């Protein structure tokens, strides 16, 4: 991998912009929140929080605009809006995260029955609402992570290795949240989070490789966050926290190895 490290100008511009926007916004917010100048739910907090979360989306367009001689903005927009794929891809994008969550819970409870008492699910009809919320709260990151880095790096080192390389970079981008009071990642286990990012990067990288649809990756990312909000995850603190990340990693690798690299459509159609 080091011999063929992906040296893509578009990806480098994206990463510099994404980290710059997000770490600046969230860095300021960490200071304000820890000094109790801003609290979760107030407009200064939420403004900086949302701006940081939109860093990858904004950075993706900065990168595309700065490298438009490589491919125009219209080509990127076609991948963002690429919806003409077989229905099975929508089922996978929306259903695979929930399936993996339930399977992980089943494995964890089988290994440690006492964990079952800590599992609690929200009503299923709330899923569409949470999905809409998590499209903004996470899903739009896919403009950059899959739309730029997966797309660019896969050309040099292949989609599987590109996904594995993206995972730690993606996790590092989230790092300020682990110092931010009021969010779920505050004082959480970063190593466990990193393990989960490897699984997610593989699943999303596989989906993008076979559809070249940023839209579908947005939906899968949002669905993954929504099922967590619904309670479909292995509770932490009981020694079973690695079950979910390991399952995602195993399934992601198996999907890549079993289905090959051929995308359903190499280029999305014009709209």
Residue 137 phi, psi dihedral angles, 5° rounding = -85, 55
Residue 261: count of CB within 10 angstroms of its CB: 12
Spell out the alpha helix ranges (H) of 70-187: 73-80, 87-111, 127-136, 142-144, 151-157, 159-173
In the block, tokens 């290795």 appear at 161
Please give the average per-residue pLDDT across 145-155, as a whole number.
97
Q: Answer yes or no: are the C-beta atoms of 79 and 214 closer than 8 Å.
A: yes
SS3 (DSSP) at 207? helix
Residue 92: count of CB within 10 angstroms of its CB: 22
Of 13, 231, 264, give the one whose Cα is nearest residue 122: 231
Question: CA torsion, points 9, 12, 17, 23, in degrees to nearest 10?
Answer: 180
- Kindly tell me if the per-residue pLDDT of 268 is higher than 60: no
Spell out the alpha helix ranges (H) of 186-237: 190-211, 214-229
- Kindly tell me if the per-residue pLDDT of 269 is higher than 50: no
Sign of the four-CA dihedral 268, 14, 140, 155: positive
In the block, tokens 């916004």 appear at 25
Quote the CA–CA distance of 197 and 163 in Å, as a whole number.
10
pTM for the predicted model, two decimal places:
0.93
Of 191, 201, 215, give the one whose Cα is nearest residue 149: 201
* pLDDT band at residue 260 under the 50/70/90 scheme: low
**Element containing residue 249 per DSSP (H, E):** helix 243-259
| Per-residue pLDDT at 270 | 33
Residue 71 phi, psi dihedral angles, 5° rounding = -160, 135
For residue range 26-57, list pLDDT tens digits in order.
Answer: 999 999 999 999 999 999 999 999 999 999 99
Longest dimension (CA), the chain: 58
Structure tokens at 197: 């990012």
- Kindly tell me if the per-residue pLDDT of 244 is higher than 50: yes
């Amino acid at each position: 991998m080091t011999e063929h490290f992906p040296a893509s100008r578009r990806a480098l511009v994206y990463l510099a912009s994404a980290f710059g926007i997000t770490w600046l916004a969230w860095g300021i917010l960490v200071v304000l929140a820890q000094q109790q100048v801003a609290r979760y739910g107030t407009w200064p907090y939420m403004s900086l929080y949302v701006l940081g979360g939109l860093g990858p989306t904004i950075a993706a367009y900065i990168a595309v605009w700065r490298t438009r001689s490589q491919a125009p903005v219209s080509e990127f927009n076609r991948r963002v809006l690429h919806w003409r794929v077989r229905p099975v891809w929508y089922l996978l994008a929306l259903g695979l995260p929930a399936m993996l969550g339930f399977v992980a819970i089943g494995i964890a409870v089988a290994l440690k029955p006492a964990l079952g008492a800590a599992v609690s699910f929200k009503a299923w009809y709330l899923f569409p609402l949470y999905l809409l919320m998590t499209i903004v709260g996470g899903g739009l990151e896919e403009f950059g992570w899959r739309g730029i880095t997966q797309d660019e790096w896969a050309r040099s080192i292949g989609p599987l290795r590109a996904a594995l390389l993206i995972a730690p970079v993606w996790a590092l981008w989230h790092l300020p949240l682990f110092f931010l009071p009021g969010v779920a990642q505050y004082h959480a286990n970063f190593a466990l989070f990193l393990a989960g990012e490897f699984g997610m990067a593989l699943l999303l990288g596989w989906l993008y490789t076979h559809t070249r649809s940023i839209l579908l990756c947005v939906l899968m990312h949002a669905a993954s966050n929504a099922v967590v909000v619904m309670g479909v995850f292995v509770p932490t603190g009981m020694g079973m926290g690695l079950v979910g990340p390991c399952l995602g990693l195993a399934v992601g690798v198996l999907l890549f190895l079993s289905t090959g690299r051929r995308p359903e459509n190499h280029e999305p159609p014009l709209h």
